[in-house]
Amino acid sequence: MEASDTFIDCLAGQLPFDIGTEEFVRDPYRFYEEVRRSSGPVHRADSGAVVVLGHAEAKAVLGDPRFGHGAQTAQDRTGYGVPARTFLLTDPPGHTRQRERVRRAFTAREILVLRREVDERAARLVGEAARSGTTDVVADVARPLSAGVVADLIGVPEDLRPRFTQAAELLVRGMDPPGLIDPGTRERIARARVRLAGDIGAALRRPSGSGILRTLAQDADGRPARAETVATCAQLVAAGYETTVGLIANGTYALLRHPDQLAWLAAAGHSEQACAVAVEELLRFDPPIQLAPRCALSDAEIAGTSVPRGTLVLVLLGAANRDPRVFPDPHRLRLDRQPRHLAFGLGGHYCLGAALARLEATAVLRHLLPRRPRRTGHPVSYSPARVARSVQSLRVRLDPDGRGPDAARLAGMTSPA
């Protein structure tokens, strides 16, 4: 899939702010609020596209079958003009068939089986990082953890994993408009796509294997479906890998900027339950995926705004998660909020890997926070990607023994407010 074919190309000129600026990368929420104040929860762009910023309105669009992608199969084009390529950008019945086959790797039973393995891997990565006293949470913990888990799920052979990880990082950049990607990076992205497709094809030809690769390698009639499998696995890499990295990276950075919330977690002993609660608010506060595109499949209406058939609808998940009508003081991190965010979407396209992403983030917090991470003097940078929002580098100091602060001193703190 060429960079110019990605759905994000449709953003050019559609949003009421410039996503190409460094200011937007650092703080998109300021731009969302300016539009919300001027237009309310629904904004009609000069192009005719409809931009959804409200929580209730976003839920209505994501859960309404009248708003979809406009493609029935992976060979079709979406209603906004780009090749669907995989089931992630198709509507039923094609979406239902392919999603069901992939879903088997993400059932509650499968996630439970992975729970111990994910926890052990997170503990090992954090322990290794702490031995040097300083570490980059993204490069040394989040990326290797997410890459290893996704590789296991897909069934990537061990000898192909180093190249797999490199390709995964580049595929995420390919989700952005070509104008935001320099020529050298575009060339590396194109090579990564070819290399990943070749590696997945090579894995399919091996007599033994595991994971999603083996499940998808045969269609309903038992015939090989290699092209569809390669495209689906590549899309799962781009979507699943970076989503988890962004959740861990953005969440850790948010906690470091809110010491009162860190203190509450310490008072709770950094328990699995407390960390799982924290993950939900971190998903709301700075979600790893900022928007979800849809197309009106028939004439519809969103909160009184008419949406004719064929209209491009851009649901800003980051804006909906900070809707003041739903979340009081929305720009403040509060770990005691009810988990009402839309970070993983809603409806038929709800993120398949949501439970796994939560599991990985919870495991990292459990093992990282007792080592009292503190920011160093190194600047914090964000990935230049616009759809997949993620802190790119986050260097911290860690206690090597992992005992953390004196929890007894904080025992009186029962609320993160």
- Residue 298 resides in a domain: yes
Highest mean pLDDT among 99-113, 237-251, 310-324: 310-324
Band (5; pLDDT cuts 50, 70, 90): very low
| Contact status, residue 146 vs residue 236, Cβ threshold 8 Å | no
pLDDT of residue 18: 83
Mean pLDDT (whole number) for 342-368: 92
| Identity of residue 214 | R
Give the CA radius of gyration of the chain.
21
Beta carbons within 10 angstroms of residue 263's beta carbon: 16
Interatomic CA distance for residues 338 and 334, integer angstroms: 10
For residue 141, how far is the Cα from the chain centroid? 16
pLDDT digits (tens, 9 = 90+) for 217-251: 555 444 445 666 666 777 777 667 888 999 999 99
Report the length, in residues, of the chain.
417
Residue 413 confidence (pLDDT) above 50: no
Question: Which of 169 and 261 is assigned the larger pLDDT?
Answer: 261
DSSP β-ladder status, 50-52 and 312-316: parallel
- Residue 27 resides in a domain: yes
pLDDT of residue 387: 76
Q: Which of 345, 357, 317 minimizes the C-alpha distance to 68?
A: 345
pLDDT of residue 222: 46
Interatomic CA distance for residues 150 and 192, integer angstroms: 17
- Residue 415 resides in a domain: no
pLDDT of residue 12: 57
Mean pLDDT (whole number) for 181-205: 78
Residue 4 confidence (pLDDT) above 50: no
- Residue 322 resides in a domain: yes
Residue 41 confidence (pLDDT) above 50: yes
Residue 403 confidence (pLDDT) above 80: no
pLDDT of residue 9: 54
| Identity of residue 266 | A
Interatomic CA distance for residues 177 and 291, integer angstroms: 14
Q: Count of alpha carbons within 13 Å of 350, Cβ hemisphere only?
A: 13
Question: Which of 64 and 114 is assigned the larger pLDDT?
Answer: 64
Domain count, the chain: 1
pLDDT of residue 409: 37
Cis peptide bond prior to 93, omega within 30° of 0: yes
pLDDT of residue 131: 92
| Contact status, residue 185 vs residue 395, Cβ threshold 8 Å | no
- CATH code for position 395: 1.10.630.10
DSSP β-ladder status, 291-296 and 134-136: unpaired
pLDDT of residue 309: 96
Interatomic CA distance for residues 154 and 276, integer angstroms: 25
Range of the domain at 373: 3-410
- Residue 53 resides in a domain: yes
Interatomic CA distance for residues 93 and 181, integer angstroms: 35
pLDDT of residue 221: 44
Q: Which of 146, 142, 147, 172 minimizes the C-alpha distance to 158?
A: 147
| Contact status, residue 53 vs residue 316, Cβ threshold 8 Å | yes
Interatomic CA distance for residues 346 and 309, integer angstroms: 21
Band (383; pLDDT cuts 50, 70, 90): confident
Beta carbons within 10 angstroms of residue 221's beta carbon: 6
- Residue 416 resides in a domain: no
Residue 358 confidence (pLDDT) above 50: yes
- Residue 134 resides in a domain: yes
pLDDT of residue 208: 56
The region of weakest confidence among 2-16, 115-129, 145-159, 245-259 is 2-16
Q: For all residues of the chain together, what is the average pLDDT?
A: 83
Band (322; pLDDT cuts 50, 70, 90): very high
Q: Count of alpha carbons within 13 Å of 159, Cβ hemisphere only?
A: 4
pLDDT of residue 2: 37
pLDDT of residue 1: 32
% of the chain beyond a pLDDT of 90 = 47
Beta carbons within 10 angstroms of residue 324's beta carbon: 12
- Residue 337 resides in a domain: yes
Question: Which of 99 and 71 is assigned the larger pLDDT?
Answer: 71
pLDDT digits (tens, 9 = 90+) for 77-96: 888 777 777 777 888 887 87
Give just the sign of the alpha carbon dihedral 262, 267, 270, 276.
Answer: negative
Mean pLDDT (whole number) for 9-36: 85
pLDDT of residue 92: 86
